[in-house]
Amino acid sequence: MLKNILVLTLISSIYLFANSFKVGDDIGHFSLPNQFDEKKDVDSKIQTIIVSFEKDTGKDINTFLASKKADFLDKHHAVFIANISGMPSIITKLFAMPKMRDYKHSILLIYDDADNRFVNKEEKSTLYKLENGVIKSISYITKDNLEEVFK
């Protein structure tokens, strides 16, 4: 019985990470750690997800969010996710995490390079707009249009 449960869990995890989210998909409910190793939930209450895959795009989003109040993301029912799976762990521990901990906003982190739920485009961040947990649109943004995201 335990073996069957473990196999089912493994298959579910593989399926979850095998396909990227598409318009019309329900994101369900998942948790990711933030820069303080606190698990944060992403569920149907979230209306905006911004995902960064590169150092420069992440820096742009962090600079934007640093200019806002600490509760800006919460008030906008939004999360910022940084996929840092490609970053060497020594760089993450020595440089990236201490820098991220200086920010007052929460940065959810993806460490697993097999996690491909979110699509990416070079030199852009990915913007997901949701309604009741269902993805209504996927677009790509730069620092030039970040302000428009929250209007």
Confidence at 145, pLDDT banded by 50, 70, 90: very high
pLDDT of 21 higher than 50: yes
* pLDDT of the residue at 18: 55
Class of domain 21-149: alpha beta
User: Domain extents for the chain?
Assistant: 21-149
Least Cα distance to 108 among 134, 7, 117 occurs for 117
Round the average pLDDT of the chain to a whole number and report it: 91
Answer whether 60's CB lies under 8 Å from 146's CB.
Answer: yes
Answer whether 19's CB lies under 8 Å from 26's CB.
Answer: no
**Model pTM?**
0.86
Answer whether 81's CB lies under 8 Å from 110's CB.
Answer: yes
Confidence at 6, pLDDT banded by 50, 70, 90: very low
| Tokens coding 110 | 């993806």
Question: What average pLDDT does this structure show over 83-91?
Answer: 94
Alpha carbon distances (Å) from 117 to 35, 38, 71, 93, 114 = 20, 21, 26, 24, 9
**Which amino acid is present at 24?**
G
Confidence at 66, pLDDT banded by 50, 70, 90: very high
Return the H-helix or E-strand segment holding 58: helix 55-66
* pLDDT of the residue at 105: 97
| Tokens coding 10 | 């493994």
* pLDDT of the residue at 14: 47
Answer whether 137's CB lies under 8 Å from 129's CB.
Answer: yes
| Tokens coding 28 | 């369900």
* pLDDT of the residue at 19: 84
* pLDDT of the residue at 26: 97
pLDDT of 13 higher than 50: no
The rounded distance, in Å, linking the Cα atoms of 4 and 9 is 9
